[in-house]
A = this chain, B = another copy of it.
Amino acid sequence: MEETNLNQTIRCIVKLGGAAITCKNELEKINEENLETVSSHLRQAMNLGSCSTQVVGMDWSKRDAVSDISSSLCDFGDQCQFNVDFSRFVVVHGAGSFGHFQASKSGVHKGGLNQPLVKAGFVATRISVTTLNLEIVRALAREGIPSIGMSPYSCGWSTSERNVASADLSGVAKAIDSGFIPVLHGDAVLDERLGCTILSGDVIIRHLAEHLRPEYVVFLTDVSGVYDRPPTDPNAVLLREIAVDEDGKWSVVKPTPQSLNKQVEITVAAHDTTGGMVTKISEAAMIAKLGIDVYIVKAATSHSLRALRGELRHGIPDDWLGTVIRFSR
């Protein structure tokens, strides 16, 4: 695989979990409130060095009932001086209530592109996930973030038995070096063995982390982090720190194992075609193994904002709610 050269290291790769930014039980419905807060948090996190608080939107398209956009453009004027120096982030989002339905109905993740239903499902899945991608790019752009949608399928990502077989990251690197924030997503892709499959956002994150080596990775989810059992269970305990060893094996450091009275369980959402928490923890462990801290935290909270800003890199405050996954020799 081609080596990826960047002018400078990137600061953070952030995953917007499908469950955090969409209404998971309602077909193709965005959680507008969460998405707006997350976009604002991202702007604050990317804008660390700047004292500018003025937001100048970069989505100049029509919105719903608004047909005249000239008014929003007057803000720019000719002397327009808005901040576009954002620190280097990459955003990857999941599908949530976009794509999953189309993928599971047709079995795209199982392959078999020569079957008419699978081929139709492939097309339908891509339409659904790219619709979500466009909405997220627009939400970020409205916050003044120079976001650029980059569909993995179009960018040349493909798999072999669901493992990444090729991914031309030079386009992502070039976008970052040009000052843009690439926005990738879980996608339907071609698979050398299966014909096609679903490439999850978590697998994309791991691959990007491996090749772009960010300072830290943040997973924004719809729960506070990783629990010892399904978080809906009233006795569920939040795992605050997980250590990963050189073999990629992970163990709970905090709370101490003695205080946990049973083995760690993990939740798997019923219609999550890409594996839910199992995938997330093992992908996160693979990233931590590279020496990159991973924070799993609830989206649109003060805790996620702190994680995004990189405040946890020198120590985890006691009042921070979330899961840290890090390498320990």
Contact = CB atoms under 8 A, between A and B. Distances in A.
A60 interface: yes
A82 B178 contact: no
Given A134-B131, A154-B171, A171-B154, A105 B178 contact: no
A92 interface: no
A116 B114 CA distance: 47
Interface string A38-65: 0000000000000000001011111000
A130 interface: yes
A257 to B, nearest CB: 46
A82 B120 contact: yes
Interface stretch (A121-129, A216-224, A233-241, A281-289): A121-129
Number of copies: 2
Contacts of A195: 178
A318 to B, nearest CB: 40
A190 to B, nearest CB: 6
Given A84-B119, A130-B137, A148-B153, 19 more contacts: A56-B120, A60-B105, A60-B128, A61-B128, A82-B116, A84-B116, A119-B146, A123-B147, A124-B141, A126-B149, A127-B141, A130-B134, A130-B149, A149-B151, A149-B154, A150-B153, A150-B154, A154-B154, A178-B196
A320 interface: no
Contact of A154 (B62, B122, B138, B151): B151
Interface string A162-206: 000000101100100011100000000010000110000000000
A69 B27 CA distance: 9
Contact of A127 (B59, B102, B124, B196): B59
A7 interface: no
Nearest to A85: B116
Given A117-B80, A123-B180, A147-B123, A60 B102 contact: yes
6 contacts: A59-B124, A60-B101, A60-B124, A61-B102, A149-B154, A156-B171
A293 interface: no
A155 B149 CA distance: 11
A67 interface: yes
A269 interface: no
A128 B128 CA distance: 18
Given A80-B117, A179-B113, A27 B130 contact: no
Nearest to A138: B127
A123 B146 contact: yes
A156 B156 contact: yes
